[in-house]
Each structure stands twice: as C-alpha cells, then as structure tokens.
C-alpha cells in the first residue's frame, strides 16, 4: 500500500518537487499584474523529464497562480502501471490480481482473499468502465481531488487537483509555495526567471522546471 501512495504522491505533488514545501504560512495576496499570476503549463526541465521516464509521454502538469495568493495544480497521467481493469471479475493493482466484488453502477469495490481493499465511487460511464473518485483508503483524501478513468482496453488515466498558497517576491525573484502534500523534501525558496511567455523555476536543490504561459 505504501508503494501505491508514494507513487501517487510523486505525481500529484509536482509543485512540491520544484518549489518549496512544508507547513509555512504562505497565504497572502498578489497583484493581478504580477508576472506569475495566471496558468502555466510544464513544458520542460528536469522534473518533466523525470515524469516522462516514469509515466511515459502522457503526463501533464498545469499550475495556476491566482491574485489572492492561492494556487492550484492539475496533474494528468497514464496510470496503467498502477492499476487497470483486466476483465469483469479481475482488477490489477500494482501488478497483483484483485477480485471485483461489487459494482452497483455508482461504486466499484475490489477485494483480496475475501477482504475488501477499496471502493472507487461516484461512477460516470457505462458498465464498470468510466471515471471514478479515487478511494480514500489509499491515502488520497489528503491530496485534494483525485479521479481515475478505467478503459475497456486495460488502461487507465489519473487526474488530480492539488490546492495550496504561495508568496512571490518579484524583486528578489523568489517563490514560496505551501501545498497539501506532506512531502517536505525541499523547503528553500525557488528562484524564478521570466523570458517572454516562459518561466524557469529552480528550486533550492538546483532542479529546473520550465513553464509556458497558457493565458
């Protein structure tokens, strides 16, 4: 189970990987004219390369910095490596076979050796396939909104939204972000440089991430 949670934490905490994290109070407000306010798509750098190596090309991360000091991050990736539906009776979780023991149209329940493991809820789709809310039993309740879509070709996709707060010192070019993840690997402020519609973020460990403005 820890492997499952750590895998999801790694991909939903993309912001934490390239800016500072922790329990600091980073709430505040930013002028709508601040160069960081807006939506930014991750388009290059060390972190994106790492994501592609782990999850393939079907991965994206979009960060939105709002004028009120709040931010959100939307993550999308191919989650087939983690889980997928093999057939009407079999669910694959981290390479292991589980039984599909319940499917009432709104919920998909999986079990192992007769014991319930988790239930995917809020189903949207036909049959057992479609989109579900990811189960809290696997630690997703602390990450914000996490959804998984199961396809009938034994593949799956994951979408997550993480919320947080930030402060940006435009004069110093420093960015501090606090998000809901418990990952505290990097606590130093990140350095930010702008070049037209591109934003390059370098965290305190020298990890570089490149963003492109979307709006």
Give the Cα separation of 107 and 92 in Å (integer): 17
Task: Centre a 10 Å sphere on the Cβ of residue 100 and count the other Cβ atoms it contains.
Answer: 17
Dump pLDDT digits (tens) for 124-169: 998 899 999 988 766 665 556 789 999 999 999 989 888 888 899 9
Per-residue confidence band for 199, with pLDDT thresholds at 50, 70 and 90? very high
CB 156 within 8 Å of CB 84: yes
Q: Average of pLDDT values for 69-82?
A: 87
Q: How confident is the model at residue 136, as a pLDDT? A: 74
Q: Enter the tokens of residue 70.
A: 């709040």
Q: How confident is the model at residue 84, as a pLDDT? A: 96
For residue 166, the Cα-to-chain-centroid distance in whole angstroms is 17
Q: Average of pLDDT values for 48-64?
A: 80
> Is residue 123 classed as helix, strand or coil in its secondary structure?
strand
Dump pLDDT digits (tens) for 17-34: 444 444 444 445 555 678
């Amino acid at each position: 189970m820890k492997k499952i949670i750590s895998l999801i934490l790694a991909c939903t905490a993309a912001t934490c990987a390239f800016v500072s994290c922790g329990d600091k109070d980073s709430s505040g407000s930013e002028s709508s004219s601040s160069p960081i306010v807006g939506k930014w798509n991750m388009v290059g750098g060390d972190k994106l390369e790492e994501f592609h190596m782990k999850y393939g090309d079907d991965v994206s991360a979009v960060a939105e910095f709002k004028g009120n000091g709040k931010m959100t991050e939307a993550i999308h990736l191919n989650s087939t490596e983690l889980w997928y539906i093999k057939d009407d009776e079999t669910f694959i979780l981290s390479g292991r076979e589980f039984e599909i023991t319940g499917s009432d149209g709104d919920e998909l329940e999986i079990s192992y050796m007769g014991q319930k493991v988790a239930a995917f809820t809020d189903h949207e789709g036909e049959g057992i396939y479609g989109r579900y809310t990811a189960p809290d039993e696997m630690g997703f309740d602390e990450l914000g909104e996490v959804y998984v879509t199961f396809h009938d070709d034994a593949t799956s996709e994951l979408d997550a939204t993480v919320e947080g707060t930030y402060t940006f010192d435009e004069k110093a070019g420093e960015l501090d972000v606090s998000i809901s993840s418990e990952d505290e690997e990097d606590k130093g402020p990140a350095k930010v440089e702008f070049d037209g519609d591109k934003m390059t973020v370098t965290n305190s460990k020298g990890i570089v991430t490149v963003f492109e403005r979307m709006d």
